[in-house]
């Protein structure tokens, strides 16, 4: 087990990359998808269940945890890993995005952001220094710089102002982070959809120097075509020997497109949130289990999936428990979605290692184009652990 943070690039195929991030708390195989544990939990999942899906790392949210139960309380109880019973690596975001999107009565200055909590209206201040302090108290393995992220579309002047403020905050974040062996600090590239501003941001971050680099300011309303257009150049502006993290993405085809363009890490609430609302991701697209057509369907969600939802339960059962509002619905569908996302990452890692990513990608899109109705057989399914009890 390493005592320091490091990244090893194992193979490339086109611009797609696979490698390993070593941390004192374990390895992170890349490309990696990080389930989101906003409030120190991945909703509807036990930590050991999340690990069973294949996840190497979780994401925790600075904004939510600083408000409740507070970073100071978590530190007094032994840190975030012990608090939520997760022994693997944890990445914490800086809180900047949530302040901009959730908090009330925000006031942005050079110093930072003052805001009122969306929970109880209490007043708070987040600055680069305070964000670093909170993430230190939480004890996360990967810490994100404090930044400002404007929603898109935005005019160029607004994007310039925001990006340059974020770069000044990045420098302050690096100074406040200090020397913490075994912990990593990631810088965040900004610049909207403007290539020259992305380049300016990347150069500023490289001048400061970070353990990894995120492509920020995407998946904020610009659409997939515009996002991919930015990813056609933005990751290549960042160092090749450091991990590249695309924040807040996304749908399966977003993830595949990002990996194709050189991204190593991603996170999104989508698989867990969708599970709670009756949506399941499969190789042939999205299944809306709430639909009446599933009420008498004995098939599993995906006949090739090995998760508990697919090996033990029919679509008819999953439809029933969702309609009945049973807690097991969220548990099974969330497990399935996270399992699907981790299998997606594992299959991409293998394809890149074997130099067949283009063929893998073509098959991925072909299966999704068939749609869920392509194999609507009424034959009895084969349950790997016996029929539902």
Cα(109)–Cα(147) distance, integer angstroms? 12
On whether 254 is known to bind a ligand per the annotation, the reply is no
On whether 307 is known to bind a ligand per the annotation, the reply is yes
On whether 336 is known to bind a ligand per the annotation, the reply is yes
Positions annotated as catalytic residues are 93, 267
On whether 230 is known to bind a ligand per the annotation, the reply is no
On whether 93 is known to bind a ligand per the annotation, the reply is yes
Neighbouring-strand partners of residue 186 = 144, 212
On whether 64 is known to bind a ligand per the annotation, the reply is no
On whether 196 is known to bind a ligand per the annotation, the reply is no
On whether 173 is known to bind a ligand per the annotation, the reply is no
Query: Which residue ranges are tagged as binding site?
Result: 93-97, 147, 190, 217, 305, 307, 310, 336
Query: Which residue ranges are tagged as binding site for substrate?
Result: 93-97, 147, 190, 217
Query: Which residue ranges are tagged as binding site for Zn(2+)?
Result: 305, 307, 310, 336
């Amino acid at each position: 087990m390493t005592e320091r943070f490091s990244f090893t690039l194992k193979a490339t195929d086109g611009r797609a990359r696979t490698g390993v991030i070593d941390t004192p708390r374990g390895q992170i195989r890349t490309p990696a998808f990080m389930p989101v544990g906003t409030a120190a939990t991945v909703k509807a999942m036990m930590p050991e269940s999340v690990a069973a899906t294949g996840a190497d790392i979780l994401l925790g949210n600075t904004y939510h945890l600083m408000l409740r139960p507070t970073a100071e309380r978590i530190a007094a109880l032994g840190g975030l890993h012990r608090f939520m019973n997760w022994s693997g690596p944890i990445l914490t975001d800086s809180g900047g995005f949530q302040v901009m999107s959730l908090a009330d009565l925000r006031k942005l200055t050079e110093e930072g952001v003052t805001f009122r909590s969306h929970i109880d209206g209490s007043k708070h201040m987040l600055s680069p220094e305070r964000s670093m302090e909170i993430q230190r108290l939480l004890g996360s393995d990967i810490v994100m710089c404090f930044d400002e992220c404007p929603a898109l579309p935005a005019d160029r002047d607004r994007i310039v102002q925001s990006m340059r403020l974020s770069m000044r905050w990045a420098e302050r974040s690096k100074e406040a982070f200090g020397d913490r062996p075994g912990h990593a600090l990631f810088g965040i590239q900004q610049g909207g959809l403007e290539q020259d501003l992305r380049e300016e941001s990347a150069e500023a971050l490289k001048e400061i120097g970070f353990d990894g680099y995120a492509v920020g300011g995407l998946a904020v309303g610009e659409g997939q075509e515009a996002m991919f257009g930015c990813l056609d150049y933005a990751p290549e502006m960042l160092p090749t020997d450091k991990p590249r993290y695309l924040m807040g993405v996304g749908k399966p085809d977003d993830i595949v497109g990002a990996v194709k363009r050189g991204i190593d890490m991603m996170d999104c609430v989508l698989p867990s949130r969708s599970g709670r609302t009756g949506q399941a991701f499969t190789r042939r697209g999205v299944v809306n289990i709430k639909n009446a057509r599933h009420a008498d369907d004995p098939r599993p969600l995906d006949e090739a999936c090995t998760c508990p939802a697919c090996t033990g339960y029919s679509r008819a059962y999953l439809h029933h428990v969702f309609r009945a509002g049973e807690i097991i619905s969220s548990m099974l569908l969330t497990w399935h979605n996270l399992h699907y996302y981790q299998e997606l990452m594992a299959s991409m890692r293998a394809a890149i290692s074997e130099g067949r990513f283009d063929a893998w990608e073509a098959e991925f899109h072909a299966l999704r184009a068939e749609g869920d109705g392509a194999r609507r057989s009424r034959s009895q399914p084969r349950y790997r652990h016996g029929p539902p009890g």
